[in-house]
Chain A
Amino acid sequence: MQITLRIRRFNPEKDKKSYWGEYTLDKVDSTDRVLDLLHRVKWEQDGTLAFRRSCAHGVCGSDGMRINGVNRLACKMLVNKLGEGEHIKIQIEPMLGLRVIKDLIVDMEPFFEHYRQVMPYYVNDAPLPENGRERLQSPEDRERFDDTTKCILCACCTTSCPSFWANGVYVGPAAIVQAHRFIFDSRDQAADERLKILSEADGVWRCRTVFNCTNACPRDIEVTRAIGEVKMAIRQGAKRE
């Protein structure tokens, strides 16, 4: 099949404004990924096209971008999900709310800054158990935060959120998901500190339950639910048995 790719291009050294570049690709398989198409454009037509990718298998979270209007990972999006027939048009833009460095590459630093704010690491200063081995956790306790362990920090959720578009000070869905992963971990001891950080003015209260994050997550994390649970935990204290 034939694909027309419209890609939002921007080269800070040459362009004052971004513009749409159009590329036509022939002999595309319906099971090709959008990332394959970007590779073909870069390798066959225009070597100046810039985008991030690393593992190319939906694990590293490097190639988040807006594909046909929705945030997706280019490496997980198959062409046959984007249209039917012999000719398909696909539109690709950088994620919104972060500064565009070049073409599809955005400045992820503010995103990671929010991530670091929520102490996204395991905190437990208590002495080790007597046998000197690991701290045990029941399957139920592990299940409590299983969903939010899946996050790969691709920023698809945060850059789909109208509150984040409006105001970049909002800590954003991804950072709250990461906080959720530790807040509800029975072995962790810093839940209260994280809840305090997230109950600041730029924390969870800026969430307006729009559900764009949940719909955007390439790992199917129940993001809005996780945010809702953090809001509940701030009001009631994290429940741990």
Chain B
Amino acid sequence: MTTLVTTVKESLRYRGKVGQWSWMLHRTAGLGTLLFLILHVIDTSWAAFYPEEYENAIRQYQSPLFTIGEFGLIACVVYHAFNGFRVGILDYKPEWWKHQQRAAIYVFVATIVVLIPTFGLMVNHVIDFYTEEGQDIASLQEIIEVQVQFVLGLVVILVAALVLSALYGLITRSKTGLDLPGWAEKNLWLFMRLSGILILPLVFGHLAMMHVIQGVFDINGGGIDVIGTSAVNDSGKAVEFVGERWDMLVAGVAIWRVYDALLLVLVVVHGMNGLRNVINDYAHAPLINRALNWATIFGMVALVVLGAAALLAGVDETAYQIAKDLTPTAP
């Protein structure tokens, strides 16, 4: 871990050019996006499994703290997407390296150009929501109470991974971390480029629908059209919003489930492999390296399984009913 301190400190001290700043921002933006992705997959699965909790999660996302976070998230995704595209192009056209500096600046400019109108639209949603009387807004204390559970879950996973890694070390006397063979690294490297390209349209579509055109403030609005479907959210419950989307059929295919499933798998694997790259850069002690790698792999599998289970289960009648029975003041 000492090299993490060195690298962060020296990356700020070393006078690299724009490429170095792009790299630092790319990592930060990727990790920031991954953090939200983990929360997001877990709580969206509640729409299928714990409808009351899902309504509450949406309520928390409408709080000022998460609203600020949402702006950060959008910035992270947009920058990471554009810069990833730049890196990918240079990987396939190394002879274009002379343009990389200009390209890195174009990426900054393009990010800002996209973010200005996007943030404008998002601010409109925020203003609409907060100027309406009688909104039920989650307090900071409630938010902490719920989010602490995620932190605890993470701590438990990390501790378990450390214990297992220590046991593994004792039994096998292994002196190495989790090193993948070269062919695996090569294929994962390729996967990052390929998945990046596939994710681009999917994630921008998702962000446009769920964060910009409609947003977290519309998801539990009664009588509001559900984006991407011909349905109306009659109950004004977030669960119905999700259910209407997942049940929308085009030629017999639940297109939004397919869309979400693709996005889920690509983004979770892309994100967790990115995290693995960061871990292998900075965590060298075999015990810690193994533990963090295992926790990452576990997280990757768990999120894909959880998300897929929710997509397969869908929102059933009972869930609708439970959500509908909630009074607006319910905790």
- Residue ID in chain B nearest A214 by CB atoms: B97
Of the listed stretches A73-81, A104-112, A138-146, A161-169, chain B binds: A161-169
Of the listed stretches A37-45, A54-62, A182-190, A204-212, chain B binds: A204-212
Given contacts A66-B14, A167-B280, A201-B180, contact A211 B186 (CB under 8 A): no
Q: Are B23 and A208 in contact (CB under 8 A)?
A: yes
Q: Are B3 and A165 in contact (CB under 8 A)?
A: yes
A2 to B11, CA, bound (A): 30
- Residue ID in chain B nearest A234 by CB atoms: B186
B81 to A: closest C-beta gap in Å: 16
Does B189 sit at the interface, judged by CB under 8 A?
Answer: yes
Q: Are A211 and B7 in contact (CB under 8 A)?
A: no
Instruction: List residues of chain B with CB within 8 A of the CB of A215.
Output: 16-17, 19
Residues 1-44 of chain B, each 1 if its beta carbon lies under 8 Å from chain A, else 0: 00110110011011111011011000000000000000000000
- Residue ID in chain A nearest B23 by CB atoms: A210
Q: Are A162 and B182 in contact (CB under 8 A)?
A: no
Does A68 sit at the interface, judged by CB under 8 A?
Answer: yes
Q: Are B7 and A205 in contact (CB under 8 A)?
A: no
- Residue ID in chain A nearest B182 by CB atoms: A200
Q: Are B19 and A210 in contact (CB under 8 A)?
A: yes
A214 to B95, CA, bound (A): 13
Of the listed stretches A10-18, A128-136, A222-230, chain B binds: A222-230
Number of A-B contacts (CB under 8 A): 107
Does B136 sit at the interface, judged by CB under 8 A?
Answer: no
A135 to B181, CA, bound (A): 37
Instruction: List residues of chain B with CB within 8 A of the CB of A227.
Output: 94
Does A239 sit at the interface, judged by CB under 8 A?
Answer: no
Given contacts A96-B10, A199-B182, contact A228 B20 (CB under 8 A): no
Does B130 sit at the interface, judged by CB under 8 A?
Answer: no
Does B185 sit at the interface, judged by CB under 8 A?
Answer: yes
Residues 82-103 of chain B, each 1 if its beta carbon lies under 8 Å from chain A, else 0: 0000010011101101001100
- Residue ID in chain A nearest B86 by CB atoms: A209
Instruction: List residues of chain B with CB within 8 A of the CB of A209.
Output: 19, 23, 87, 90-91, 100
Does A83 sit at the interface, judged by CB under 8 A?
Answer: no
Q: Are B179 and A201 in contact (CB under 8 A)?
A: yes
Does A148 sit at the interface, judged by CB under 8 A?
Answer: no
Closest 9 CB pairs of A and B: A228-B94, A211-B19, A69-B15, A166-B281, A200-B182, A225-B97, A212-B16, A210-B23, A225-B94
Using a CB–CB distance below 8 Å, which chain B residues touch chain A?
A: 3-4, 6-7, 10-11, 13-17, 19-20, 22-23, 87, 90-92, 94-95, 97, 100-101, 179-186, 188-190, 280-282, 284
Q: Can you pick out 23 interface pairs between chain A and chain B where the beta carbons lie within 8 Å of each other? A: A70-B14, A96-B6, A96-B14, A162-B11, A162-B20, A165-B3, A166-B3, A166-B4, A200-B182, A200-B185, A201-B180, A201-B182, A201-B185, A205-B185, A208-B23, A209-B19, A211-B16, A215-B16, A228-B91, A228-B94, A229-B94, A231-B91, A235-B186
